[in-house]
Structure 1
Amino acid sequence: MLIAVVVHLAVAAVLPALARPLGRQAFMLGAVPPAAALVVALTWLGSLPRTESVAWAPAVGLEFTTRLDALAMVMVVLVTGIGTIVLVYFARYAKPGEEGIGRDSCVLVLFAGAMLGLVLADDIFSLYVFWEITTVCSFLLVGGSGRTREERRSARQALLVTVLGGLALLLGLILLSTAAGTLRISEIVADPPGGAAATAGMALVLVGAFTKSAQVPFHPWLPAAMVAPTPVSAYLHAAAMVKAGVYLVARFAPAFADRPEWWVPLVVVGLWTMLLGGYRALRQYDLKMLLAFGTVSQLGFLMVLLAVGTRVAELAGATMILVHGLFKSALFLATGAIDKGTGTRDLRRLSGLGRRWPVLAVFATLAAASMAGVPPLLGFVGKETALEAFTHATTKDLIILTGLVVGSVLTTAYTVRYLVGAFGGSGPAPGETDSSPGVGEGGSGAVRTPGAVFTTAVALPAAAGLVLGLAPGLVERLTGPFADRFAGKQDYHLALWHGWTPPLLLSVIILVGGYLLYRGSAVFDRTAGRLPPALRADDGYRAALRGLNRVAAGFTARVQTGSLPVYLGTILVVLAVVPTWGLVTDSVWPGPLRLVHTEMQLPLSVLVVIAALTLPLAQRRLTAVLLTGLVGYGIGGLFLVYGATDLALAQFLVETLTLVVFVLVLRRVSAPFVRTHVTTRRADIGKAVVAVAAGGFVAVFATVFSGLRESRSEIGAAYAAWAEPEAGASNVVNAILIDFRALDTVGEITVLLVAATGAATLGLALARGRHRTIPVPSEAAPEAGEDGDGAGSGHADGTEDGTRGAGPEVSR
């Protein structure tokens, strides 16, 4: 399966270049990798689990590990099977010569490969990488060309919400792996960790799952993403991407399903999402928006099933993952055919399509019946299994069962609404003309019959739901091994008929109740889908963005003051405080230290200290530069005393170049420092304290860590051992600079060469008099922002009093 992931990525890389000569047939080429991966995966069905691993950073123990087990096989079948159908469908859906074919085909195949890698990944870092690739792909596909405001807003919303969840997921996975002592997901599940860190990790993983699978309150991004082309919606937002969060919950369920901190949030949020999504779907008139809110509802249903950790519930959950992908992709693709043929998705304007397109209507009805749980479809088998999982006398099961029944009634109601709106009505029979407005583009009644590609794309997943419903044992071969890992009724199996049981009675109540709810829509329409402002998650999203922008603006205004002393002081304080606290708390101190190692060390050190102490007292610019250079030359002398000739030479060269450049520039600047403002004694004392603290920290830090060194480091010993045999050098330093780290040396030489060239050019320019004058603020005009006093209130021309050239003119 590693090869399958690589093939997806490779094909995605070449599709943009091939899109121009191939046109929309690029989608057909893109369908080859997922189709091949599906065939290969099915051949391994009897030999699970299979594990493959490739080390990409073996020195630190990082590797990409794949594990194809029963749960991963369910997702692989869904991702590759629906992916193949969608890409073939897109080849007919896209217009010939349409802009963006290369981009869409590339990103869709990349997404298929990333989703495949996500469900196969068995280490936390690979899982996170593929998780974020799917997020980026979704952003690109939803945003499309980005020309409309709606596209940009929807893509940005999807990106912000799912990236927030991705960051939470990363932190949660790190906490879980740290607590478990392993990066392998299968090992974490086999021996789940405990403690506060594991509990926090579980909570963060759930946040990631909730955002990706559009659970309340993060769900608004999914309906907003319906601005994407219908094939994109059918794949990303029905069959693949939104299943990532559900898959994550299922993957960790064997480890944590018995813990209340895991299943309680899943059950509460899942039931809330199921009911809210179904409620909102009942008022939608756009067929895609109706299906989108239906998807939100179904995802909440899946979360509840996978939360409780019993065998029957997990069997139902794994089955419904497959069922949902089949019927929802078929319905989205049918909606795309309707939109393409009629020019509208508004169910108030559609009429008689069932009579005109009977074949498409039949297969769409099969898919919708599976969504509602009508026998003998696979949706009925999965929903009856879900009801069976909670037909117990415990309070928890009765509460969950009540929520599932009410949510399923809503599902049936919006399913009927979709079917009647899309294919109902008394439109003209085949062969008749349609003079009614509303069907067709611009109300002209010009309806284009869907071709074989559209009809077949809808027929395949819809027919699969019927065939698998009649032969549920085939599905249990996929989902059974995953469910068998949980405790519970081991003798229950997927079947079309279990006798006259309570779940069968509940199924009848759900179907009848859903139909009656739809029939009462004349009254229900006045309230359906309406929410009080406090429960509108989309308003909450916008309010959160506005609040975040205000906080960021206020924080930036207070932190980015424009004062260089404030910036340097903050850096130095953090540098001094944080490591010092570590030194004090860990009590890491060396043994006895020698004050002087060589005779020349003391005078050079004294020279450096005297120059550094004299520097703040300098009144002229050239004096300050010379004192700074004296500090650098003294340090170079210390390098020379210790035998680091090459390092000393580099230090002397850098100091010389720096000194030359400064002197050349300062020739044209006023000799004394120009005081633009008067600082208070308190400010001067504060700066002095910060400077002394930072300097003292550096001195202590260097002394402590140099004194703790008891022997030569491993890399130092290796360099010494390799110097003569590998480089033919008796001087280890020369061997390092010239052979082992030659690229670093070349870079340093290049920097010196550029600096020397700049200095020479500057000297020639000044010697020839080619310079221009610039105004320097006078002493009466203080510089805004200095010492954090604010940004000032200067005029548009950049000066405080609105005049130009105030103060003496100096040369640059």
Structure 2
Amino acid sequence: MLALVVAHLVVAGLLPLVSARSRRAAFGVAAVLPAATLLWALAQAGPALGEGVTATTTWAPALGLALSFRLDALALAMIVLVSGIGAVILVYCIGYFGADSPEAPRSAALLLAFAGAMLGLVLADDLLTLYVFWELTSIASFLLIGQSGEQRTESRAAVQALLVTVLGGLGMLLGFVLLGEAAGTYRISEILADPPRGGLVTAALLLILLGAFTKSAQLPFHPWLPAAMVAPTPISAYLHAASMVKAGVYLVARLAPGFADLAVWWVPVVLAGLGTMIIGGWRALGATDLKKLLAFGTVSQLGFLMVLLGAGGRIAALAGVAMLLAHGLFKAPLFMAVGAIDHATGTRDLRELSGLGTALPGTAVAAALAAASMAGLPPFLGFVGKEAAFEAFLHEGGMRGWTVALGLLLGSVLTAAYSARFLWGAFARKPGVEATSVHAPGAVLTTPSWLCAVVGLALGLGYPLVDALAGAYAAAYPDESGYHLALWHGLGLPLLFSAVAIGGGLLLHAARGTVTGLVGRIPADAQRAYERTIAGTGRVAVGVTGRLQAGSLPAYLGVILVTFVLLPGTATVLAAVWPGDQPLYHAAMQVPLGLAVVVAALALVRARRRFTAVLLVGVIGYGVGGLFIVEGAPDLALAQFLVETLSLVAFVFVLRRLPASFQQQRSPRRVQLPKALVAAAGGLAVAGIAVVLSGARVGPSSTSGEFARLAPTEAGADNIVNAILVDFRALDTVGEISVLFIAAAGVASLVLATRYDHRGGGRRSVDSGQGSPQHEEDVLG
């Protein structure tokens, strides 16, 4: 499994080489790997529907970190969408992107990389592994929505999608950590086998749901999905209809068997899902852009899926898996049909389209098949799943069951209405609107949509296959009814609900003029709330930065010292035990060395010349190195001497560009006294914490012992400090060197920007702009 995921990423990295020769061939090459993945998954269907197929690659055994994957019924259903529909859409891209399209090379590589990340996400059997692939899909989505970044609408939509999904992802990561610690394992299958309980789990589940809601565009985070429709149509069809937006739904479905009985889980899921389904369906009735219409429809359907797969119960789980497959199989071809219409006519505005039913009959029939499944007409898979959804909550009964069933009925009425609106808007001949001129879109643009729509019909007729797949997932719930997916369950309330949904939707569509006017009069506040939140955050950040980042190093150091004294300093005083047998010194040489350090520190405070201050700092550093020698650590002393020497040399070079003396004007006593108090408190806190921590150690450090044991054999070194710096913590050392390099570059920039500049043999003032009215205005916003 890991090999398949890695193969996607590797081939994606090589695709630009193929694009250099033929951009359309790159999409064909990219489609091969998802198609092969689908075939592999279907070949594993037997064991996947049973115990599941697992694979684990351990990469940090001492820390218990591993890449764990598991193919089971739910993962298999998602692979049908991720890899199956992914391969179809990549073929569709061959006809969509022109031979000279500048977006084609980037899109081909990123779509395949996204397919690999999404494959890793649905196969992950470890919370941390799942999170890694979760964020990779967010990054890929950002790059695909933003494209080249030249269009402002694209870049804004990409940033919005990234901010919302990554914000939720960070909360979800904290939830994963809390859940893993509460369960004692991060393996998802083990957590579900013995779900933990307690207050920590409650917080974890709420944070995990936050991540799921942001990713799957649930209220109030849904505006990012319609905004993302600025991306090319194949990207919208794949990421924002078939696969990525279902990641949150998938996560809820994955964890629901262990936690659906908890109110902290099902109450937010049901409320957010029903609200999203109704709001998304209502907004779709007012959309005039066909892609926006489908986008709001996707929001609505995601709410539907969230309810089915998160509320718990075997019948709801059956319906959820059926609708999960149905949604991908009807929404992807509808998006592809919109792409074909856009190519053929140059517009997606349903007010300008007329007569395409006769001009593009193949596209119209494929779209009609997909829309029929979306509306829930028999014998399509959408009907099978929707009737099972009604059965799940009508069978449950009670306050929750009836409330959810009626909510789903209202959402389904809206679904049927916007399905009819889509077909009317795209293909009907409208009175007073001239027939739209078209050119044939070509077989590559129409065949993929036909394939998906026909598969949706075939799976509706072949419902036993879907029932076997959904039943393997739903087996995690108790079976009390013996219900199975079917096209006919006899006359009853579920069938009546389906009929009411279709009839009510057609009546709403018949009154589309009035309904569209009502939708337009109700303000859409979610997007405005997002924009106001971002703008407000920016204003607060500028204001806080302008007042706190005032350019005063003493103020910055003072804040750091006060924070240190109040937090770790106070905690140490309250909780630590002061060692009772602490001697003043261990060796006589410590006394003069310590006195030298203290005297140098006191003299440093009184120094007026920069060079004198630098020398005194060096005295302090060399004194500390001498203490290392007395304590029997010559290797540490050598490192200290080298660092101090390099620092001195660097300071001398910097001093060449600075005035010889510090500011001559003495600070008033009312300023000096607080500084002295803060400095003294900070120094005492550091000294106290050092004494307490050194006295708390009762034995040698196990980590140090391992360094000493491994240095000769693993690093070939007798000097343990060098082995740690060069071998055991090599990456840390490289990072520290990089930080020093960046700091040096910053110091050099500041020195060059100073108002003392030796040019032309004389000294003249250079205005840096600091403190000017314009500068203050920029900082304060």
TM over 0.5: yes
Equivalent residues of 2:94, 2:444 under 8 A apart: no
Distance in 2, matches of 1:581 and 1:386, equals 57
Match of 1:691 in 2: 679
Match of 1:266 in 2: 269
Q: Confirm or deny that 1:210 pairs with 2:213.
A: yes
Alignment of 1:174-185 (within 5 A): 174-185=177-188
Which SS does the other structure have where 1:153 is aligned?
Answer: helix
Equivalent residues of 1:360, 1:455 under 8 A apart: yes
Q: Confirm or deny that 1:135 pairs with 2:138.
A: yes
Equivalent of residue 478 in structure 1, options 469, 477, 483: 469
Match of 2:616 in 1: 627
279-288 or 35-44, which deviates more: 279-288
Distance in 2, matches of 1:456 and 1:55, equals 43
Match of 2:391 in 1: 388
Deviation at 1:277, TM superposition (A): 1.1
Equivalent residues of 1:28, 1:87 under 8 A apart: yes
Alignment of 1:243-642 (within 5 A): 243-392=246-395, 393-425=397-429, 437=434, 439=436, 445=437, 447-532=438-523, 536-590=525-579, 592-642=581-631
Percent of aligned pairs with the same residue? Answer: 56
Match of 2:755 in 1: none
Equivalent residues of 2:314, 2:479 under 8 A apart: yes
Would the alpha carbon gap of residues 774 and 725 (structure 1) be closer, same or farther in structure 2, given more than 3 Å must change?
same
Deviation at 1:354, TM superposition (A): 1.9
Equivalent residues of 1:114, 1:130 under 8 A apart: yes
Distance in 1, matches of 2:160 and 2:357, equals 36
Equivalent residues of 1:330, 1:458 under 8 A apart: yes
Match of 2:701 in 1: 713
Deviation at 1:621, TM superposition (A): 4.2
Equivalent residues of 1:210, 1:218 under 8 A apart: yes
Equivalent residues of 2:354, 2:434 under 8 A apart: no
Distance in 2, matches of 1:79 and 1:666, equals 61
Letter in 1 for 2:586: H
Q: Confirm or deny that 1:239 pairs with 2:233.
A: no
Unaligned residue ranges in structure 1 (runs of 5+): 428-434, 440-444, 763-768, 785-790, 798-812
Which SS does the other structure have where 2:218 is aligned?
Answer: coil
Equivalent residues of 1:376, 1:469 under 8 A apart: yes
Letter in 2 for 1:425: R
Letter in 2 for 1:19: S
Equivalent residues of 1:279, 1:529 under 8 A apart: no
Distance in 2, matches of 1:112 and 1:281, equals 28
Deviation at 1:358, TM superposition (A): 2.5
Distance in 1, matches of 2:733 and 2:233, equals 56
Equivalent residues of 2:418, 2:509 under 8 A apart: yes
Deviation at 1:562, TM superposition (A): 0.9
Which SS does the other structure have where 2:527 is aligned?
Answer: helix
586-595 or 690-699, which deviates more: 586-595
Would the alpha carbon gap of residues 335 and 640 (structure 1) be closer, same or farther in structure 2, given more than 3 Å must change?
same
Which SS does the other structure have where 1:53 is aligned?
Answer: strand
Equivalent residues of 1:280, 1:293 under 8 A apart: yes
Equivalent residues of 2:290, 2:422 under 8 A apart: yes
Distance in 2, matches of 1:197 and 1:485, equals 24
Match of 1:802 in 2: none
Deviation at 1:603, TM superposition (A): 1.9
Deviation at 1:628, TM superposition (A): 3.0
Q: Deviations over 1:255-304 (max 9, x none)?
A: 11111111111111111111111111112222111111111111111112
Distance in 1, matches of 2:545 and 2:98, equals 47
Would the alpha carbon gap of residues 136 and 656 (structure 1) be closer, same or farther in structure 2, given more than 3 Å must change?
closer
661-670 or 548-557, which deviates more: 661-670
Deviation at 1:669, TM superposition (A): 7.1
Distance in 2, matches of 1:698 and 1:670, equals 32
Would the alpha carbon gap of residues 165 and 736 (structure 1) be closer, same or farther in structure 2, given more than 3 Å must change?
closer
Distance in 2, matches of 1:424 and 1:505, equals 29
Distance in 1, matches of 2:231 and 2:548, equals 40
Deviation at 1:176, TM superposition (A): 1.3
Unaligned residue ranges in structure 2 (runs of 5+): 752-757, 777-781
Equivalent residues of 1:280, 1:530 under 8 A apart: no
Letter in 2 for 1:400: V
Letter in 1 for 2:139: V
Deviation at 1:627, TM superposition (A): 3.2
Letter in 2 for 1:703: V
When the two structures are superposed, what TM-score results if normalisation uses the length of structure 1?
0.87
Deviation at 1:630, TM superposition (A): 2.8
Equivalent residues of 1:4, 1:37 under 8 A apart: yes
Match of 2:16 in 1: 16
Which SS does the other structure have where 1:52 is aligned?
Answer: strand
Which SS does the other structure have where 1:416 is aligned?
Answer: helix
Deviation at 1:667, TM superposition (A): 8.3
Distance in 1, matches of 2:505 and 2:653, equals 87
Would the alpha carbon gap of residues 589 and 51 (structure 1) be closer, same or farther in structure 2, given more than 3 Å must change?
farther
Which SS does the other structure have where 1:528 is aligned?
Answer: helix
Letter in 2 for 1:697: A
Distance in 1, matches of 2:266 and 2:14, equals 44
* Rg (Cα) greater in structure: 1
Which SS does the other structure have where 1:525 is aligned?
Answer: helix
Would the alpha carbon gap of residues 51 and 154 (structure 1) be closer, same or farther in structure 2, given more than 3 Å must change?
same
Q: Compute the RMSD of aligned alpha carbons.
A: 3.3
Would the alpha carbon gap of residues 726 and 102 (structure 1) be closer, same or farther in structure 2, given more than 3 Å must change?
closer
Q: Confirm or deny that 1:701 pairs with 2:689.
A: yes
Distance in 2, matches of 1:329 and 1:747, equals 46
Q: Confirm or deny that 1:30 pairs with 2:34.
A: no
Match of 1:2 in 2: 2
Letter in 1 for 2:325: L
Deviation at 1:321, TM superposition (A): 0.5
Q: Deviations over 1:593-640 (max 9, x none)?
A: 232222222122122222222332334445434433332332232233
Distance in 2, matches of 1:223 and 1:303, equals 18
Q: Deviations over 1:763-795 (max 9, x none)?
A: xxxxxx999554589xxx9x99xxxxxx74578
Distance in 2, matches of 1:646 and 1:255, equals 55
Would the alpha carbon gap of residues 229 and 606 (structure 1) be closer, same or farther in structure 2, given more than 3 Å must change?
same
Letter in 1 for 2:10: A
Q: Confirm or deny that 1:101 pairs with 2:104.
A: yes
Distance in 2, matches of 1:310 and 1:724, equals 60
When the two structures are superposed, what TM-score results if normalisation uses the length of structure 2?
0.90
Which SS does the other structure have where 1:527 is aligned?
Answer: helix
Q: Deviations over 1:95-149 (max 9, x none)?
A: 0121121110000001111111111111111111111111111111111122222
Distance in 1, matches of 2:117 and 2:728, equals 38
Distance in 2, matches of 1:325 and 1:660, equals 65
Equivalent residues of 1:17, 1:102 under 8 A apart: no
Would the alpha carbon gap of residues 572 and 408 (structure 1) be closer, same or farther in structure 2, given more than 3 Å must change?
same
Distance in 2, matches of 1:378 and 1:244, equals 21
Which SS does the other structure have where 2:56 is aligned?
Answer: strand
Letter in 1 for 2:513: A
